[in-house]
Each structure stands twice: as C-alpha cells, then as structure tokens.
Chains A and B, each alone.
Chain A
Amino acid sequence: DAGVTQSPTHLIKTRGQQVTLRCSPKSGHDTVSWYQQALGQGPQFIFQYYEEEERQRGNFPDRFSGHQFPNYSSELNVNALLLGDSALYLCASSLGPGENIQYFGAGTRLSVL
C-alpha cells in the first residue's frame, strides 16, 4: 500500500521562474492538502483540494495555485518565484476534507536562487 508520494524530491529554480510540484495521495484517499514549511517553522497551510476543487485556502498569494485530477492526485504551481518561496513543500492526504487524520509525503525541497 503506497503512502503519499511527492515529486520531485529536490528542485532549484531562479527568481521569477515558475514551478510545478506533484503529489499522489495514499491509496483510498480523496483529499489533498498542501503545506509550506520554512526552515525552523511549522508547516503553513496553503490550500486543500477535494472533488477537484479548492475547498480551503490559507494566507498565500494568488501566485500559488493548484489542481486536483480525477485520480485524486494533485499539483501545486507557484509563479513568479521569490527567494522567500524557498521551503519544504509538503502534501498530505486524508479520507475526506473533514477527516482529522492526514498522512504526509516526504516533501519537495525547493530552493530559489
């Protein structure tokens, strides 16, 4: 039973570029949440996808967008990258948007130079 998988594991971009991160949820899970974790801080909620729609959004600018596919996998897109976007991006999946228990992937470490 595969857990949450994310790709790529590491990524280096330059300011102004765009990036797409990918997440496959745990088998049987239909809800995906994305988090940004800066060094020394806790994960910050970006948004959640369920039934291919964004259901909840944290305090992130419109440069951060996402998508969920019919197979429940999800993408996080970040446009016009800033140095401050350097962080670990975590994907978490759960059985429904109200489910308390969520499982995290190993994350994508993004460095913006």
Chain B
Amino acid sequence: RKEVEQDPGPFNVPEGATVAFNCTYSNSASQSFFWYRQDCRKEPKLLMSVYSSGNEDGRFTAQLNRASQYISLLIRDSKLSDSATYLCVVKNTNAGKSTFGDGTTLTVKP
C-alpha cells in the first residue's frame, strides 16, 4: 500500500462546477500537509498548506481529518485554468522527506 493515496481520476468537469479531491495517508507521524498543483510537463507548485482547522483560499478549500488520516481539496466555480494535476503531500516536520501522492488530474471544459 502506498504511503499517500489519491483518487485515481481523471476528473472532467464543466466550467463553474464544484469538484472535490480526496487523499489518505498511512503514516500517523505525518505532521504537515499540502496540496501542490502541477501543469503538464512543468514543475509542482505549492497550492496551499492544509491546517487542522481547515483553510480557504479564494475558490479553494482544504480540510484535514487527523483521526481518519484524510485530506481533501474542494474547488468551487471551476475555471479552465484550473486544469492540472493536483498532488497531495504529507511530511513529518522533523524530517526532510516529503511524500507525494500520484496526483489527480482535473480537466475543466468550456
């Protein structure tokens, strides 16, 4: 079993749709959580950190459930420019290693 698992996707949604991605992690020692975005053939870029209380950044909402070892990302009012692969990342803050999921691909269509 992989340490970080994501919805396999792909997700194909119309503009304006709301879409949610899920991620589970197996290492209970994980302390920091992130969502990265990766455009085709480009490097990953940090989208947002995920906090225990949940956090929102514009149309994006991230939530963490430590008891269930589950992270989610909600995108509201999808734009064409949201089309990308979304990577879930967990990290044990005391260590340098970040563990990435395999990503979920989102395509937003007109």
Contact = CB atoms under 8 A, between A and B. Distances in A.
Contact of A104 (B43, B91, B99, B103): B43
A42 to B, nearest CB: 4
Nearest to A32: B96
Interface string B35-46: 000000011111
Interface in B70-101: 87, 91, 93-101
B96 A40 contact: no
For the residues of A in contact with B, the DSSP-based class is loop
Interface in A36-57: 40-45, 48, 50, 55-56
B31 to A, nearest CB: 9
Q: How large is the interface on A (under 10, 10 to 19, 20 to 34, 35 or more residues)?
A: 20 to 34
Nearest to A31: B96
B94 A98 contact: yes
Main secondary structure of the interface of B (DSSP, over half): strand
Interface in A14-40: 31, 33, 35, 40
Contacts, number: 50
A56 B97 CA distance: 7
Contact of B97 (A41, A58, A100, A106): A58
Q: Which of B49, B96, B97, B101 lies at the interface centre, i.e. has the most chain A CB atoms within 10 A of its CB?
A: B96
Contact of A48 (B32, B43, B97, B99): B97
Contacts of A107: 43
Nearest to B101: A42
A105 B4 CA distance: 23
A9 to B, nearest CB: 11
B2 to A, nearest CB: 9
B96 A42 contact: no
Interface of B: 4, 32, 34, 42-46, 49, 87, 91, 93-103
Given A100-B32, A102-B46, 6 more contacts: A43-B44, A56-B97, A101-B46, A104-B44, A104-B45, A105-B43
Interface of A: 31, 33, 35, 40-45, 48, 50, 55-56, 58, 90, 97-98, 100-102, 104-107
